[in-house]
Chain A
Amino acid sequence: MQLSLKKIIFALAMSLAPVTGHAGNIPPVEGPVLLTIKGSIHSTNNLDCLELDLEQFKKLPEATFTTTTIWTEGEVTFKGVPLKTLLDFAEAEGSRIKASAINDYTIEIPVESITEDYPIVAYEMNGAPMTVRTNGPLWIVYPYDQSSELQSETVYARSIWQLNRLEIVD
């Protein structure tokens, strides 16, 4: 492996992380990056972004619910991290979240529409991790069956699958 300047600086910066405060207090990911959060956040682990892998996700508090959806058959059980928790983890300060998918589908979610319980960023469906082919690896889902309000166009639109980026704005 060639030692690039970039890498050296990065290593140094990382070793200095505890001294420099928030920035860089979350260790960098080791596995493949599932989600990249950038924007008005304070917790980062890669320059001004916060990258998370599956390991990281699993370390965070989880939430589970069962529901039917218009894209699946029958009832499915989703396990994931509440979006709010994620935002807190990222120390996000903003009113809008721009969520984007692998195919560049982007949707805006107002922070005030997010509750403690929903939506969640799901990484497991029916006990198994989701692949791209099965709308994974990350899917923002709501407990649609819970209320007719969660069965609206807006909510469906916010139920972004193949999620890979969050940008906090405002």
Chain B
Amino acid sequence: MAPPSERWRISQTARYVLLSVFVIIGLGLLSYLASETRARLDFLEQAPNDNDQFIYSQLEIELLRLSNALKEAESGTPKAIAQIRVRYDLFYSRIYIVAARQTQYADRTTDTQRQTLEDLLAFLERTSPIIDGPDAGLLAALERLDQDLQSMYTPTRGLSLAALAQLASAADQHRKEFRTLLLQTSILSAVLILVLGVFVISLMRLSQRHATLAKDAQRTRDRLQSTVAASLDAVIVIDEDSKILDFSGAAEEIFGYRKDDILGKPLPPLLIPDRFVKAHYQELEMVKATGKKHRAEDQLIHVIAKRANGAEFPAEASITSVPGKRGTLFVSFIRDISSRLHAQAEVVAARDRAVEAEKIKSDFIAVMSHEMRTPLNGLMAGLELVDGVNLTPKQKRYLQIARVTSKQLLGHVNDVLQIAELESGKIRIKEHQFSPVALLSELRDANAAIAQAKGLDLIVEPVAPELETVIGDKRRIHQILLNLLGNAIKFTAQGQITLRCQLLDETDYQQIVRFEVEDGGAGIAPSDQKSIFEDFITLDSSFQRNENGTGLGLSISRRLARAMGGEVFLDSHLGKGSRFWAELPLKKTTAPSVSVAPLNAEAPVMPQASRQIKVLVVEDNEINRMIAAEFVNVAGAQAITAENGETGVALAARTAFDLILMDVSMPVKDGRVATREIRQNGASKNTPILGLTAHAQNKDLAGFLADGMQCVLIKPVNQDQIRQAIEKHVLAPASGRAVRPSRHLIKQKTVDELLEILGREALVTMYNRFAAEMDTGLDRAPDSAEYKAEIHRLAGTAGAMGARLLQQVLAEVEQTIGDDHVDVALLRDTWQLTRQAYADLGIAAAPTG
């Protein structure tokens, strides 16, 4: 349906047409009537009719006069006789006039009238000889003539009466017709006047509407003007030849020209730096010629503009093309972004500083972790070993104190470092399946003794079947609960402590799970309830002997919970007890529950080796060396020690060990160099080497693996790890089980999932494509923009494929692009290792060379 103005216009046109037709018809009718009127008027002017009456009455009179004359002639005087003749002549002429009349208006003459005329003519014929004859004859015939004449009297009278009647009716008829005519004319005129009146009114309304429209247009124009004027962006209108047609107030401000000065002048030489002028004209030419849109149309472009004083500044511009009267007009909006760019630069600088600070912090963590934990490692391990030997009760007690305090110290250090880690956001929440029931049971078992000692009942409530298995970071949830439980035990004098796990809410993908510790202790005063979550706040200052006396436990728990997307809550009433709980969103598991071995399982029985397993321990620190060696012995293998890299290399060259434990940081020759050398040649060329280090960042890991290590263990290393290492790297391969690539290199879980979803063939294809991309990517020059994008993409793919270390190295490379030093070599090495790993898994062909 046409818009209102459209419809209005159409009906208006229709109306005009209608009116015009009507007027034309009306005028036609009017002119017809006018001509009719004229004809009638003409007829009236000629007025022949009225004369009729006179003629007939005159005839009557002459007849009577003749009759008189005839009577008077009885005297016989010559005068009287002459008079007869005169009167007769007059009578005669009248009759002929009537005859002429009747001929002329034969259609109006009645038969009676014609007959009367006939009679009169006959009379004349009869009597004219007598009149024209001698007087005597005339005198003699007088009476006869008179009688004859008398007989003519009545018909003659009839003539004039008939004429009168005719006249009357004709006149009436005429009058009627004329009246009708006039009426018709008047009515038609009235109607026409009405129509014209309507016309006039229409025109008036039209002009009114136009006035309104014009006012609206003016108002819109004004509003537009003020909008443009109000805009802080410069609004400049140019024509096809780049001549400036309009220049807003903001433009004046930004560019420093006055509108009056700049109108009509060409834009490029004034507002565009010289070196870009040509490009501007070319672009405009292209737009004019091809009709394609300007590149700045529909999108913002960044340009350099020039102010009146010659100063150049960065600007954002966009263009709209508008059809104008003579060709296209271009309306451009220009914003001076120099301040924005400046602000951006500042932000970037601040970010760089922050990144730098982060780096410093993480370096600090790395250093601290090494410096603090290494001696602690030694301390604790030593104490552990000492414990097994025969001791006197006093020694045992002292030892216990030492062990407890060292544990405490380790705890403090761990706490501080963990907080630092959490604060720096470096924490990575793991996700794996576990059973909440098992978790709670572990906690109960671990703390059963202490609880019992205090006379407290430690209960685990049954868990709903929907919570049989969940997906989450078990270790950290364990830490939180351990803290909460520890607090509960610490601060409850008697009664019951309950551990429970409840499902609060669930969606298709998530479960909100609450892990709770409830105690029947003294409760916490409302004023304290907030502050206990703060760092270093503990309500119990007297108790120094327990695990987490730093006052950091709750704050760490809360941080951990938040890191997992949840929160820790407290509900406590003085005298009634407290409930602490963590609400965590956990991923749902649809897989059937997997039986997970609980933490404190019995140590698996070491499968017996057919011969003695020989393990080389290379460690410069005496204590650590001792400890490690002891661990090896306990695990059932023979430990041979070397106190530096040099010796280690020598020993390895001579003997084919089953496993080498290589400390990384050693003087003279560090572990990496030693590893490389061992890999060169010697008896232990193919022996699995495990690096021992207190800190391992990604690039270190990659380096270690590239050097030839199979795995890296973080110090302090415990017995279990040594045992597992032997199991994994010595026994498993020996019994024919597949060597799994270092967990640093490949995230096995991801690969397993891919295998399950895609199938081996598709996975191989995917891998091959990825390998090809890696190879091409590595060949590129590291300083192009495409390189960064490619690296980024490859990092994603690597992650998807489970190439853990490769992904991390790629991510680091991506970060460092732009700095001077891009560690391409590291990337290459990592790729090589990864490749080998995939080959080991049977997904890739073994790399050549």
Whether the pair A70, B93 counts as a contact (CB closer than 8 A) is: no
Among B94-102, B510-518, B753-761, the one that faces the other chain is: B94-102
Whether the pair B89, A73 counts as a contact (CB closer than 8 A) is: no
Q: CB < 8 Å: which of A102, A148, A153 contacts B90?
A: A102
B48 within 8 A of A: yes
Whether the pair B42, A148 counts as a contact (CB closer than 8 A) is: yes
B103 within 8 A of A: yes
* With A103-B65, A151-B45: A135-B97 Cβ-Cβ less than 8 Å: yes
Whether the pair A132, B89 counts as a contact (CB closer than 8 A) is: yes
Contacts of B65 in A (CB 8 A): 103
Interface bits A113-149 vs B (CB < 8 Å: 1, else 0) = 0000000000000000001111100000000000010
Report B21-58 residues with CB < 8 Å from chain A CB. Answer: 42, 45-48, 50-51, 55
Whether the pair B100, A73 counts as a contact (CB closer than 8 A) is: yes
Closest to A72 in B: B100
A2 within 8 A of B: no
Whether the pair B45, A70 counts as a contact (CB closer than 8 A) is: no
Report B69-127 residues with CB < 8 Å from chain A CB. Answer: 86, 89-90, 92-93, 96-97, 100-101, 103-104
Report A66-87 residues with CB < 8 Å from chain B CB. Answer: 70-73
Closest to B90 in A: A103
Contacts of B97 in A (CB 8 A): 71, 135
Whether the pair A70, B62 counts as a contact (CB closer than 8 A) is: no
Closest-CB distance, A76 to chain B (whole angstroms): 10
CA distance A148 to B156 in the complex (A): 32
Q: How many residues of A contact B (CB 8 A)?
A: 18
Contacts of A71 in B (CB 8 A): 55, 97, 100-101
Q: CB < 8 Å: which of A134, A148, A152 contacts B93?
A: A134
Q: CB < 8 Å: which of B46, B93, B96 contacts A151?
A: B46
Whether the pair B48, A70 counts as a contact (CB closer than 8 A) is: yes
A162 within 8 A of B: yes
Closest to A161 in B: B93
CA distance A148 to B45 in the complex (A): 8
Whether the pair A153, B47 counts as a contact (CB closer than 8 A) is: yes
CA distance A152 to B45 in the complex (A): 6
Interface bits A147-164 vs B (CB < 8 Å: 1, else 0) = 010011100100001100
* With A103-B62, A103-B90: A133-B45 Cβ-Cβ less than 8 Å: no
* With A135-B93, A148-B42: A70-B86 Cβ-Cβ less than 8 Å: no
Contacts of B101 in A (CB 8 A): 70-71
Closest to B103 in A: A73
Closest-CB distance, A124 to chain B (whole angstroms): 16
CA distance A162 to B104 in the complex (A): 22
Closest-CB distance, A167 to chain B (whole angstroms): 20
Q: CB < 8 Å: which of B48, B86, B100, B103 contacts A102?
A: B86
Closest to B105 in A: A70
Whether the pair A133, B92 counts as a contact (CB closer than 8 A) is: yes
Contacts of A156 in B (CB 8 A): 47, 51
Report B134-185 residues with CB < 8 Å from chain A CB. Answer: none
CA distance A8 to B92 in the complex (A): 40
The A interface, classified by DSSP as helix, strand, loop or mixed, is: loop
Whether the pair A132, B46 counts as a contact (CB closer than 8 A) is: no
Contacts of A131 in B (CB 8 A): 89
CA distance A135 to B99 in the complex (A): 13
Whether the pair B100, A133 counts as a contact (CB closer than 8 A) is: no
Closest to B61 in A: A103
Whether the pair A132, B51 counts as a contact (CB closer than 8 A) is: no
Report A56-104 residues with CB < 8 Å from chain B CB. Answer: 70-73, 102-103
Contacts of A73 in B (CB 8 A): 100, 103-104
CA distance A9 to B62 in the complex (A): 40
Contacts of B45 in A (CB 8 A): 148, 151-152
CA distance A162 to B55 in the complex (A): 14
CA distance A151 to B44 in the complex (A): 10
CA distance A70 to B99 in the complex (A): 11
CA distance A156 to B61 in the complex (A): 19
Whether the pair B46, A133 counts as a contact (CB closer than 8 A) is: no
Whether the pair B50, A153 counts as a contact (CB closer than 8 A) is: yes
Interface bits A14-42 vs B (CB < 8 Å: 1, else 0) = 00000000000000000000000000000
Whether the pair B90, A132 counts as a contact (CB closer than 8 A) is: yes
Closest-CB distance, A151 to chain B (whole angstroms): 5
CA distance A103 to B92 in the complex (A): 13
Contacts of B55 in A (CB 8 A): 71
CA distance A156 to B52 in the complex (A): 12
CA distance A72 to B99 in the complex (A): 9
Whether the pair B90, A152 counts as a contact (CB closer than 8 A) is: no
* With A71-B97, A71-B100, A103-B62: A132-B92 Cβ-Cβ less than 8 Å: yes
Closest-CB distance, A113 to chain B (whole angstroms): 17
Contacts of A133 in B (CB 8 A): 89, 92-93, 96
Contacts of A151 in B (CB 8 A): 45-47
Closest to B128 in A: A133
CA distance A148 to B62 in the complex (A): 31
CA distance A133 to B101 in the complex (A): 16
Contacts of A132 in B (CB 8 A): 86, 89-90, 92-93
Contacts of A135 in B (CB 8 A): 93, 96-97
Closest to B85 in A: A132
CA distance A73 to B99 in the complex (A): 9
CA distance A134 to B89 in the complex (A): 8
CA distance A135 to B289 in the complex (A): 102
Whether the pair B47, A152 counts as a contact (CB closer than 8 A) is: yes
CA distance A72 to B98 in the complex (A): 9
Closest-CB distance, A106 to chain B (whole angstroms): 13
- Of A131, A133, A161, which is in contact with the most chain B CB atoms at under 10 Å from its CB? A133
CA distance A73 to B96 in the complex (A): 10
Closest-CB distance, A166 to chain B (whole angstroms): 19
Closest-CB distance, B74 to chain A (whole angstroms): 22
Contacts of A103 in B (CB 8 A): 61-62, 65, 90
CA distance A148 to B39 in the complex (A): 13
Contacts of B92 in A (CB 8 A): 132-133
Contacts of A70 in B (CB 8 A): 48, 51, 100-101, 104
Closest to A132 in B: B89
CA distance A72 to B104 in the complex (A): 8
Interface bits B692-722 vs A (CB < 8 Å: 1, else 0) = 0000000000000000000000000000000
Closest-CB distance, B398 to chain A (whole angstroms): 162
Closest-CB distance, A126 to chain B (whole angstroms): 13
Contacts of A162 in B (CB 8 A): 90, 93
CA distance A152 to B103 in the complex (A): 21
Whether the pair A134, B46 counts as a contact (CB closer than 8 A) is: no
Closest-CB distance, A101 to chain B (whole angstroms): 9
CA distance A135 to B94 in the complex (A): 8
Closest-CB distance, A135 to chain B (whole angstroms): 5
Closest to B89 in A: A132
Closest to B52 in A: A70
Contacts of A72 in B (CB 8 A): 100
CA distance A134 to B91 in the complex (A): 10
Closest-CB distance, A41 to chain B (whole angstroms): 26
CA distance A18 to B650 in the complex (A): 196
CA distance A55 to B89 in the complex (A): 23
Contacts of B104 in A (CB 8 A): 70, 73
Closest-CB distance, B114 to chain A (whole angstroms): 15
Interface bits B664-679 vs A (CB < 8 Å: 1, else 0) = 0000000000000000
Contacts of A153 in B (CB 8 A): 47, 50-51
Closest-CB distance, A115 to chain B (whole angstroms): 20
Contacts of B90 in A (CB 8 A): 102-103, 132, 162
Closest-CB distance, A141 to chain B (whole angstroms): 14
3 A-B pairs closest in CB distance: A132-B89, A133-B92, A71-B97
A-B contact pairs, 7 of them (CB 8 A): A70-B48, A71-B100, A102-B90, A103-B62, A134-B93, A135-B93, A162-B90
Residues of B within 8 A of A (CB): 42, 45-48, 50-51, 55, 61-62, 65, 86, 89-90, 92-93, 96-97, 100-101, 103-104
Given A148-B42, A151-B47, 11 extra CB contacts under 8 A? A70-B48, A73-B104, A103-B61, A103-B62, A103-B65, A132-B86, A132-B92, A133-B93, A152-B45, A152-B47, A153-B47
